[in-house]
Amino acid sequence: MKKNMKAEIISIGDELLIGQTVNTNASWIGAELSKIGFSITRCVAIPDSKEDILNALSAAKGKVEIALITGGLGPTSDDITKSVLCEFFGTRLVSNQVVLEMITTMMTRRNFQMNENNRRQADVPENCRVLLNETGTAPGMWFEKGGTIFVSMPGVPPEMKHIMTERVLPELKTRFVSQAIVHKNIMTYGMPEAKLAGVLAVFESELPPTVKLAYLPSYGIIKLRLTGKGESFEAVRDSVSVQAGKLCKIIGDLVYGEDEETMEMAVGRLLKEKKATMCTAESCTGGSIAHLVTTVPGSSAYYKGSVIAYSNEVKIEHLGVPAGLIEMNGAVSREVAEAMAKGSRKAFSASFSVAVTGIAGPDGGSEEKPAGTVWISVDSENGTVSRNFTFGTDRIVNILRFSIAALNMLRQEILRAK
Amino acid sequence: MKKNMKAEIISIGDELLIGQTVNTNASWIGAELSKIGFSITRCVAIPDSKEDILNALSAAKGKVEIALITGGLGPTSDDITKSVLCEFFGTRLVSNQVVLEMITTMMTRRNFQMNENNRRQADVPENCRVLLNETGTAPGMWFEKGGTIFVSMPGVPPEMKHIMTERVLPELKTRFVSQAIVHKNIMTYGMPEAKLAGVLAVFESELPPTVKLAYLPSYGIIKLRLTGKGESFEAVRDSVSVQAGKLCKIIGDLVYGEDEETMEMAVGRLLKEKKATMCTAESCTGGSIAHLVTTVPGSSAYYKGSVIAYSNEVKIEHLGVPAGLIEMNGAVSREVAEAMAKGSRKAFSASFSVAVTGIAGPDGGSEEKPAGTVWISVDSENGTVSRNFTFGTDRIVNILRFSIAALNMLRQEILRAK
């Protein structure tokens, strides 16, 4: 394997500079290239301007193994990337027959008439290798100059990802990655990063030199990524697998899944395994838990529904929470959370229910129950468990953190069930 | 006003390059600087490496009026921005008494002990102007060299935004923006960009040269931004206001709000004005509408709740949809959407209800009703209105587009009500 393979990401488009579009393409490409062992030396976003594009291409030439370029391949007059590439690589645009046929087929299927703009999408620099794009009209283009590979791709995220996944990453792996690289993510919830790092200090210090551990935190979830490198794929895979096993033994209680599994995916997986169903009763999360659960394709197999009880009347009428209970304990209390969970499980005839009542903020808190306070209750055949948490004052963050905490409690109860 | 003021954004941090963190700071800064008339020449993200930081600072020097730098100001060993700034500006770190006192107060209030890391946060390069940060421990720093202003800020988004809003943008306006700049956003929904551009072609061609129109689309919502520039603030404001009035006359039906108002904020505003309440009945959107509505602070004043009916039984039992109606028309039908809307309005005693039933995809569609098909119904004292839409096959995008379409129909019915 070549040591220290370097890559640069060049994102073209005025919309990135004026803040209209967040540059998620650069993050995605950075993550994918990191995974196969490239160091990203920089990401640069520049306007649709000939001078800036030429400067960026020149700056990358000879400095990095590969420059990945997105954007500026559309059919309108502000999309100039192709003509600038021609200037940089000393060539001219020619129509590519295969691409033209693909576009024609695509247009025919959508009942659109081919026009001049569509036909222009099939024009590519004569000395490039075309990277076919089955998901859109702009193909990718592969150039090599001065020891650097330049790949130009459309800025539309699904099209870029398609070309990267199907065409670019496989070739980069073949050409640059003679070493085997194996990743394994262990998804954890329930312990802050600093504390987790303490718990795992000895484990980390005893890792073989070929395996590294990284912490990737997000809203209470911490992804632990083990990366192994070595000569033989089998040996690296086994080594990473052994370390993952050790890791899970140390922090088993915190582990909810592997690789890219979200908390809502883990809940769905367990429910399917147990042939069980769930429902929700949400107050302060206002549908966010239901929304997370139902973003998972196929969730209709186990998700029954929810009552979102934003007012006390709804809690009383639709979840059967006794009015006196709210009066005595307040709507944000263990007692009300438990009554909501029991009421919704009964109403929806589900195996599991999770109920949330709290104060998302920024207003509505008190000294005793500040914004960020939440009671979560899970009800099932095994009984009812309840916990309270106190997070911060940011409404949007609280709604998300409450939701993930609730899904994790639900997950633990599903695991406990026979 | 200086012509063609240029700015560059430099984002420091390994996490940006390996794709762990999406660079939302650069978008936000780009948007804010664009609003006051700066051209962003490039955004560059670089690792926490001395050489890369020095190169980026050198590249900006003399080329732009201002370079905005974020990241690398934390207390841990990989945060090296401050020492590199010292090298670049030929100075040394000194402890700043005001910052040290602010940090001490902050720590005392949180019941934390001051440690060496906290104290180091008060060290700043001797020749910088300190930009106080009331929201965190790392202050901002202002330097000038070779005709370029360099501002270094923490990468934590709320802290960066605080320093930008309170310290940097006001000074930039005073020093660079002698011209008055006035923005006015008109928020529209219901017409695609290409068609809207056709409808507004004459209006745009007749704009005075001092007023520009920009289209900023996102999930069916198109923000039309009018930007006026001129000598006198009052004259520019009046001119933009006149054009906004003309614009709203042409496309009045499509306009749902102004400036940064989201669809869910617009719905909330109208409900408050009419002292009315709302509820939702969601099938395929699975809580997404409720979630959007309840992200708005104060939404408990008008939002009663929801039944999320992911299964037919829930539609029948909790929303009173007749079983025969589902059998006869299918769950995704005008009839079922209307029954859901009526049932939920009754169940929650709300002034308005909105119901959604559809196929979010990617699976579950048929030839007749492909993924992306949705029926939406709004019920109120004025009766029931229903519409169907067909969007694409991306589940997450569909859920969002269905939700916004539903909120827009609700908005129109609230407007129609007495």
pLDDT band at A178 (very low <50, low <70, confident <90, very high): confident
Residue B40 CB partners (closer than 8 Å, separation 6+) = A17, A18, A47, B6, B7, B8, B9, B30, B33, B34
Q: Are residues B45 and B115 in the same domain?
A: yes
Per CB-CB distance under 8 Å, the chain A contacts of B371 are none
pLDDT tens column, A15-46: 899 888 899 999 999 999 988 889 999 999 99
**How many CB atoms lie under 10 A from the CB of residue B172?**
23
How much is the pTM? 0.83
Residue B194 clears pLDDT 80, i.e. is over it: no
- pLDDT category at B397 given cuts 50, 70, 90 is confident
Of B218 and A138, the structure prediction assigns the larger pLDDT to A138
* A188 and A142 assigned to the same domain: no
Residue B35 burial (C-beta neighbours within 10 Å; 0-12, 13-18, 19+):
middle
Are B299 and B393 contained in the same domain?
yes
Better pLDDT: A179 or A88:
A88
Domain termination residue (choose one: B125, B143, B176):
B176
CA distance A219 to chain B (A): 13
The share of chain B scoring above pLDDT 90, in percent, equals 75
Evaluate whether residue A268 is within a structural domain. Answer: no
Q: Which of A17, A34, A307, A340 to mutate to test the interface with B (most CBs of B within 10 A)?
A: A17
CATH code of the domain containing B200: 3.30.70.2860
Q: What is the pLDDT of residues B356-390, one digit of tens each?
A: 999 998 888 898 898 999 999 999 999 999 999 99
DSSP state of A4: S
With 70 as the cut, is the pLDDT of residue B3 above it? Answer: no
Indicate the SS3 state at residue A7: strand
Calculate the average pLDDT of chain A: 93
CA atoms lying within 13 Å on the CB side of residue A291? 27
Is A278 within 8 Å of A267 (Cβ atoms)? yes
pLDDT value, residue A2:
54
Q: Could you give the ipTM of this predicted complex?
A: 0.82
Same structural domain, B349 and B225: no
Determine how many CB atoms are found less than 10 A away from the CB of residue A245.
9
Same domain, A103 and A195: no
Task: Examine residue A267 and state whether it is found in any structural domain, yes or no.
Answer: no
Model confidence at B180, pLDDT cuts 50, 70, 90, reads confident
Q: Does any domain span residue B311?
A: yes
Which of chain A's residues have a Cβ under 8 Å away from the Cβ of B360? 294
**Local confidence band at B299 (pLDDT 50, 70, 90 cut-offs):** very high
Higher-scoring residue by pLDDT: B198, A111? B198
Rounded Cα distance between B285 and A190, Å, is 29
> Does the pLDDT value for residue A1 go beyond 50?
no
Last residue of a domain, one of B225, B258, B291: B258
Q: Which residue of B has its CA nearest to A8?
A: B17
Pick B43's closest partner by Cβ from A16, A294, A306.
A16
Residues A360 and A302 both lie in one domain: yes
Confidence category of residue B192, pLDDT binned at 50, 70, 90: confident
Separation between Cα atoms, residue B76 and residue B21, nearest integer Å? 18
CB neighbours (10 Å) of residue B198?
Answer: 11
Q: Residue A179 — pLDDT band, cuts 50, 70, 90?
A: confident
Tell me which of A381-395, B61-75, B122-136, B212-226 is least confident. Answer: B212-226
Span A339-363, pLDDT tens digits? 999 999 999 999 999 999 999 988 8
Task: Please report where in the chains the tokens 């519409």 appear, as a residue.
Answer: B387
Task: Specify if B1 maps to a domain.
Answer: no
Specify the higher pLDDT residue, A241 or A134: A241
How many A×B Cβ pairs under 8 Å?
223
Weakest-pLDDT range from A64-73, B4-13, B70-79, B331-340: B70-79
pLDDT in tens, A368-414: 898 999 999 999 999 999 999 998 888 988 999 999 999 999 999 99
Reported as a pLDDT band with limits 50, 70 and 90, residue B2 is low
* Digit-coded pLDDT (tens) for B258-287: 988 999 999 999 999 999 999 999 999 999
Do B397 and B269 fall within a single domain? yes
Residue B231 in any domain: the answer is: yes
pLDDT at B211 over 90: yes
Query: If you search the block for the tokens 């085997």, which residue do you land on?
Result: A180
The count of structural domains within chain B is: 3
Per-residue buried b or exposed e for A286-315, using 16+ beta carbons within 10 Å of the residue's own CB = bbbbbbbbbbbeebbebbbbbbbbbbeebb
The pLDDT score that the predictor gives to residue A127 is 94
Per-residue pLDDT, B115: 82
How many angstroms separate the CA atoms of A390 and A283, rounded? Answer: 16
Residue at A30 is within a domain: yes
Q: Report the percent of chain B where pLDDT is more than 70.
A: 99
Indicate if B380 and B405 belong to the same structural domain.
yes
| Six token digits for residue B278 | 């709302």
Residues A128 and A143 grouped into a single domain: yes
Task: Give the domain CATH number at A351.
Answer: 3.90.950.20
Quick one: what percent of chain A has pLDDT higher than 70?
99
- B291 to chain A: which residues are within 8 Å by CB? 285-288, 290-291, 399
| CATH number of the domain within which B117 lies | 3.40.980.10
Domain that holds residue B78: 6-176
- What is the per-residue pLDDT across B77-103, written as a single tens digit (0 to 9) for each? 778 999 999 999 999 999 999 999 999
Contact between chains at B303 and A310 (C-beta distance less than 8 A)? yes
The pLDDT assigned to B158 comes to: 85
- B1: pLDDT strictly greater than 50: no
End residue of a domain, out of A129, A158, A176: A176
Pair (B361, B252) in one structural domain = no
